[in-house]
Structure 1
Amino acid sequence: MSDIIGKASADGVTVEVGVGGRLRSVKLTPQAMRYGASYLARTVVDVATRATAKANQRYAQTLGRDARVSEALGLGYDPELASDDDFDRDWTRDDR
């Protein structure tokens, strides 16, 4: 489960999380820094939410048809947040 990641980007903010939303990285471009603290904070949270939905969706996919298990573990997701054009098939990583 720890090898599954979700990644999302918006407005110069890129967030990578593990299943359940464990933060792995946050990257900010100079563009992102121009928006101001309040907007930047909301953007980081929104992008992290999308990345978490992607990671949780991918975890549910590894379980096959029985997605009830991921729901029972509190790893549900909003399919609208999990889907977008930047889907990357290489969503597992071996950090060992």
Structure 2
Amino acid sequence: MTPRRSGVSWTQTFLHVQGRGAATCHTYPDRTPILELSAGASVVKLVLPATRINDALRVFARELAEQAATFAREVERMHHRQNTHNTMRGENVA
């Protein structure tokens, strides 16, 4: 996802996950969910308007899910490649 610049201020935040990170979706009966990503002492929360969901937000949520799935597949692919390479070199695979 590339930030769309439209003449308003914007920011980029990097959450460096080294070791154990966490992703948690908090759901509520009467408000939108909150997606929380954490690593170490840092936390990023993705928050939507509390009670109003329009089609653009629904499309965004679907795109987020699809890109997260792509991210997971790439991490799995690289992990498998690393383990295969280490096994061929006779190294311990953890």
Same-fold call, TM cutoff 0.5: no
Specify which structure has the bigger relative contact order, considering alpha-carbon pairs within 8 angstroms and separated by 6 or more residues: 1
Bin the TM-score by the shorter chain.
Answer: 0.3 to 0.5
State which structure, 1 or 2, has the greater radius of gyration over its C-alpha atoms.
Answer: 2
Which of the pair is proportionally richer in helix?
1
> Taking structure 1 as the reference length, what is the TM-score of the superposition?
0.32
